[in-house]
Amino acid sequence: MPPRFRGDQGQAFPIYIMMVAGLLFLALAFFAVGQASATRNGAQGAADAAALAAAQEARNNLLPGFDLELLDPEGWQDLLHGGGFDLAGSCGRAADLAAANDSTITDCPPPTLTNEFTIEIESNYTVGNSVIPGTEVRRATALATAVIEPRCGLVTPAAPGNERPPGADEDGEEPVPVEFTCDGGEMVEFDPLHPTPWLDLGKLLFSVHLVD
């Protein structure tokens, strides 16, 4: 039987301990990276929800005094291009969605276009304790933009002898239904004598989605 050298065994043990400690530190560091990634993803989800909520709030509400029954073709075209939305409640609605996702809005600027809404948020929670210093106080920030886009166009008479504009009868006295052609060929009608509530009509005429 070959002789055992206890001195060599004693020297190898500290190296073994250091290797185990190093591997443990790496595992904890990877866990901290995962925590940070989860925090960022949560913040981005909150920002996306807040931006969508801001755009939907605007789409669902028209400016006070905006009367669809009195719109002429030019007025309908202006509405389809984003005019007429009430923006007053957008940031408040976005703040509600951010709070529901444990976050706070840090910036909600007036839209540069009436149909674009950019929201910046900060998470109320932190990455948490980890082997990386400072993560216990680090919060995540995120930015998201949502846009309102028309999905319909106004139908205008094109046949010779049929120059009556949408929204007026042949004598120009009694309002008649206004027709729109939408994505996929869908037809939407607004009858001034039996008006569709704007909340329902707005969802048919406009889509809301996130943009990069």
Residue with tokens 């046949």: 159
Distance CA 147, CA 118 (A): 9
Cα–Cα dist 75/67, whole Å: 10
Q: Read off the pTM.
A: 0.76
Q: Return per-residue pLDDT of the chain as tens, 212 residues.
A: 555 555 555 567 677 677 766 666 666 555 666 666 777 888 899 999 999 999 999 999 999 988 998 888 889 999 998 889 999 999 999 999 999 999 999 999 988 777 899 999 999 988 665 556 655 667 888 999 999 999 999 987 544 444 444 555 455 566 778 999 999 889 999 998 888 999 999 999 999 999 98
Using an 8 Å Cβ cutoff, are 56 and 147 in contact?
no
Q: Answer whether residue 17 is part of any domain.
A: yes
Flag whether 151 is in a domain.
yes
Cα–Cα distance, 146 to 121 (Å, whole number): 14
- Report if residue 175 sits inside a domain: yes
Task: Please indicate, yes or no, if residue 87 is contained in any of the structural domains.
Answer: yes
Is there a domain that residue 195 lies in?
yes
Is 199 within a domain? yes
In the numeric block, which tokens belong to residue 97?
């969605």
User: Which residue range forms the structural domain that includes residue 107?
Assistant: 6-211
Label residues 130-146 b or e (16+ Cβ within 10 Å = b). bebeebeebebebebbb
- For residues 85 and 80, give the distance between their C-alpha atoms in angstroms, rounded to a whole number: 10
Q: Decide if 1 is inside a domain.
A: no
Q: What is the per-residue DSSP string for 151-162? A: -EEE----STT-
**3-state SS assignment for residue 170:** coil
Query: Which residues 6+ apart lie within 8 Å of 23 measured at CB?
Result: none
Any domain includes 117: yes
**Total number of domains in the chain:** 1
